[in-house]
Structures are given as structure tokens and as C-alpha cells.
Homo-oligomer: A and B are copies of this chain.
């Protein structure tokens, strides 16, 4: 994540940390306080607090103050957008992957049998 980031970058950056993903997974079971979230981890409470701040800034969670606790809840909108970004390109990629598989197949065949006349590939590049 760099300086003035867009929502998608912020979302993916937030998801790129395994602790934060574990927190989100825990939160999928239901809201929890910071202490409850910190419990399964070896890291310190301030570290968890900062992770939560990242998640909140990414709008993946909401923190609601209840007495002396801050109860954390999940917010799905940004996740939806992230999923949409991936899905948008994925089927393009899968289509290309099929032709890539063919290409690799051909490539392997060409290299494995070096004694066969190597067919000239240079004209296809320009």
C-alpha cells in the first residue's frame, strides 16, 4: 500500500496480512471485542489494535463503542468490490490459460526432443 491509495488497493492490502484475514475469519462467526480477537494470537494488544485500524480504514469492519469495549463487526461492501474485480478478469484469464496450456504443451514437445529438426520460430515475433 502506498500513499494516496484507491479503495481496491486498500482492500487488497488489508487482505494481504494473514493475521488480518484470521481476524476477519473470526469475525465471520460473529462480532467480537478487541480482547476477544487478540486472544488467539501471540502478538500484543497494540498490534491487534493496529490491524483493526487497518481493517476499519479499509472499511472491511466497523467498530462500535459499547461501554468500555469496542465491538467489531464486518462490513461486506468492499469485499464485494474486490471479488468483482477478480471475477471481471478471471474468465478472460481462464480463456487465455487454455491457450497457454496448448502453448506450453507445444513448447515442451519442441524441447524434449532436441534431435528433431528445430523449427524456426523467429519470424513469429515481429
Question: A67 contacts which chain B residues (CB < 8 A)?
Answer: 121-122, 125
Question: Chain B residues with Cβ under 8 A from A96's Cβ?
Answer: 28, 30-31, 73-74, 76
Contact of A76 among B6, B80, B97 (CB under 8 A): B97
Report how many residues on chain A are interfacial, defined by Cβ distance under 8 Å: 50
- B76–A90 contact, CB under 8 A? yes
Cα of A125 to Cα of B66 in the assembled complex, Å: 7
C-alpha gap A126/B61 in the complex (Å): 20
Closest to A60 in B: B93
What residues of chain B lie closer than 8 Å to A49, measured between beta carbons? none
- 14 further A-B contacts with Cβ under 8 Å, apart from A9-B16, A74-B92, A74-B96, are A1-B16, A8-B21, A12-B12, A13-B16, A29-B92, A64-B107, A67-B125, A76-B90, A76-B94, A76-B97, A79-B89, A79-B93, A83-B90, A86-B86
